[in-house]
Amino acid sequence: MSHSDRPWTAYYGPSMRSRIEAAQFRTIGDMVRAVSHLYSDKTAFTACLPNGINGSLTFKQVDEMSDGLAVYLREAVGLTQGDRVAIQMPNGLSFPVAAFAVLKAGCVIVNVNPLYTAEEMAHQFADSQPQALIVVDIFADKLTQALKGHQIPNIIVTQVAEFFPAIPRGIVRLVQKHWDRTLAPITLPHIRLPEAIEAGRQISQRKSITVEGYSSVLSPDDIACLQYTGGTTGVAKGAMLSHGNLMINMEQTMEMISDGVEKGREVALTALPMYHIFAFTVNLLGFYYLGARNVLIPNPRPLSNLKRAFENYPITWMSGVNTLFNGLSNETWFLDTPPKHLKFASAGGMALQSSVAECWKEVTGKPVLEGYGLTETSPVITFNPLGKTRPNSIGIPVPSTELSCLDQDGKEVPRGEAGELAARGPQIMKGYWNKPEETAKTMRGDWLLTGDIGVMDGDGYFSIVDRKKDMVLVSGFNVYPNEIEDCLARHPGILEAAVIGVPDGTSGEAVKAFVVLRDQTLTGADIRAFCKEHLAAYKVPKTVELRADLPKSNVGKILRKDLRAEETALRDAS
C-alpha cells in the first residue's frame, strides 16, 4: 500500500513508528525476564478483593516464581516444547505466575473461562488435549465430569488469595469455606501451586537448570496460546497465536498510547479477565512491559466490587467494555468520587455507544479511546490515537497493519461505503488449531476476513456498522442493530438495550428491541415513539420487550445470539 492508500499514518503521533518490522523481544519469556530485572523490587501486581483485602507481588517475585513453576512443568511433570497447559482462573496473583511459567517452559497456554460448565470445559479439553491444568479451587468441583472426554494427568490447584499475606489469606479461606461455602473437596490427584513452585526451585538447584534453556530454542513463530473463540464463523475453535503475534501486537498497541504513558509510573486497573485476549495482550503483557502496577479485580460484578480499588490506588489507566463504562457512570459512589489520577480509558469487545462515551467524559473528564480487534488478530487492529480521538470511530490501524472494506465479491469499496473489513498484519493468527477448513473460511491469503461491516472515511478513520451476521433485512433494507441500540441508549430512561431481527410475514424480518429500564414508568409505546423521532420508519423496532437484565458474556458484552436463540425456541414451542 502507498501512503495515499494508508491515509491514517498522517494521524500517528510524532514519536510513533509507522511500521514495526520485528518485536523487541524474541519470545514472551525473554520480555518477562528483561523487564523483571529492570523493575525488580517495584510492585507488578496487586489483587484487590471487594472488601479491600489485597496481596501483591514484585516483578522479581513474579519472575522467580514463574521460573520455579516452569522447571516443575518440564522436569517433574515431564512436559516438552509445544505441550498444552490449560489455565482456568479469574484475575489474581496466580495468573501471571502461571501464564509466564507456561511460556518460559516453551509450552502453549490454553486459556479456559472459569465460568464454563463442565460440558464446555470438556469440549475445550478434548480439542486442545492439554497435558496439565492449573485451576482455581472454587471451580475444581466441575473437573470430574469435565475430564471424561480427555484425562489431564497433571493438575495444579491454586486459590483466589494465593500469595496474599498469611492472615488475610486465612480470613479469605475461612469466609469461602464456612460462610460462602464455595470450597468443595477436590477428589482428583493434584498438587498445590506453591508446592509445585517450590518443587521446581529444588530441582533447579539440584540439577543446576537454567530456565533460559527452555526458551532458547523457541522462535517468534512458535505458538504461545490457543485462544478459543466462536470466531467469524460461529463454531468454537482455538486461534493459534504465536509469541511473535502477541509481542508485536503488544508493541503496536503500546505505540498508539506512547505519548500518554510513562514507563515505571502507571497504575492500571484490570477488571476484564486476563484469560480474555484483550486483557491478556494489553493489560497482562503490555503493562508488564511498561513496568506498571497492575491492580487485578477477580470479579467485577457487582460493580461495587471495584470501589475499594478506585479508593485505594491511584488508577491512571483502565480498560473495559461499553457495559462497564455505562454501569460505572450510573454508580453513585463513582459519580461522587470519580478517579482523579485517570489519564484515559480504552474500550473494545463491543461497540462503544456515543452516549456512554459522552457520559464517561463528563463524569471523569477523560476520554474513552475505542479500539477494535478479534481473537484471531491477537487482538488489536485499530485504536484511537491519544489526542486525536473521534467519536463513533474505532480509530485508525495500528502500525504495520492494513485494513480494507470489501464488497461481496471481495473487491475494495470506495471510501465512505460500507464493506466487510479485511485485515493484514504481523498480529494475524497462524490459523485455527486442527481446523484447516475453518481457517480457509476466514483467511484469503494473508488477509483475514473479520465478519464485521465497516466504513473508512477520507482520513483513514474506521467505524463499525455492525456484525455481518447481525444485520437485519427489513423489506430489502439493511438495518444495523448498533445504530438502533445507540439511539435507544440516548433515551434518559433506558439503562441498556439490545436489538435483533425476527421473522416477519410482511417485511421478511422485523426489528425487535430488548430494553432494561432506568425509568420504570416507560412503556414499549414510549420507546417506539422515541425511535420514530430519530430513525427511519423501517428501522424503528416493531416490538419492544422490557427486561430486568440482558444476557452477557464473561467480559460484559451483551449477547445478541442468546436473545436470538430464545426467540427461536419460543417460535418452535408455539
Quote the cell numbers at residue 41: 523490587
β-strand pairing of 380-383 with 368-373: antiparallel
471-573: what fold?
Answer: GMP Synthetase; Chain A, domain 3 (3.30.300)
This model's pTM is above 0.85? yes
Going by C-alpha positions, the residue among 491, 494, 492, 513 that lies closest to residue 502 is 513
State residue 178's pLDDT score. Answer: 60
Q: Are 105 and 57 in contact (CB under 8 A)?
A: no
Q: What is the pLDDT of residues 355-374, one digit of tens each?
A: 999 999 999 999 999 999 99
Q: Are 382 and 2 in contact (CB under 8 A)?
A: no
Grid-cell match 460505572, residue found: 328
Q: Are 200 and 222 in contact (CB under 8 A)?
A: no
Higher-confidence residue: 505 or 127? 127
User: Rounded CA gap, 173 and 55, in Å?
Assistant: 14
User: Rounded CA gap, 132 and 558, in Å?
Assistant: 32
Pick the CATH number of 26-36+55-218 from 3.90.1660.10, 3.40.50.620, 3.30.1380.10, 3.40.50.980: 3.40.50.980
Quote the cell numbers at residue 515: 430494553
Percent of the chain whose pLDDT exceeds 70: 97
Fold match, 26-36+55-218 / 471-573: no
Q: What is the pLDDT of residues 226-283, one digit of tens each?
A: 999 865 555 579 999 999 999 999 999 999 998 889 999 999 999 999 999 999 999 9
Beta strands in 14-111 (DSSP E): 43-48, 54-58, 84-88, 108-111
User: Rounded CA gap, 132 and 100, in Å?
Assistant: 15
Q: 430 vs 45, 115, 436, CA distance in Å?
A: 31, 27, 11
> Residue 341: which pLDDT band, with cuts at 50, 70 and 90?
very high
Percent of the chain whose pLDDT exceeds 90: 78
Give the number of other CB atoms < 10 A from CB of residue 572: 7
User: Rounded CA gap, 57 and 287, in Å?
Assistant: 14
Taking 3-state DSSP, the helix, strand and coil percentages for the chain, each rounded to the nearest 5, stand at 40, 25, 40
User: Rounded CA gap, 157 and 205, in Å?
Assistant: 24
Quote the cell numbers at residue 38: 529492570
Q: Domain map of the chain by residue range?
A: 26-36+55-218, 471-573
Q: 438 vs 108, 231, 466, 554, CA distance in Å?
A: 21, 9, 22, 24
Q: 357 vs 328, 484, 494, 560, CA distance in Å?
A: 12, 16, 16, 21
Residue 8 has pLDDT above 80, yes or no: yes
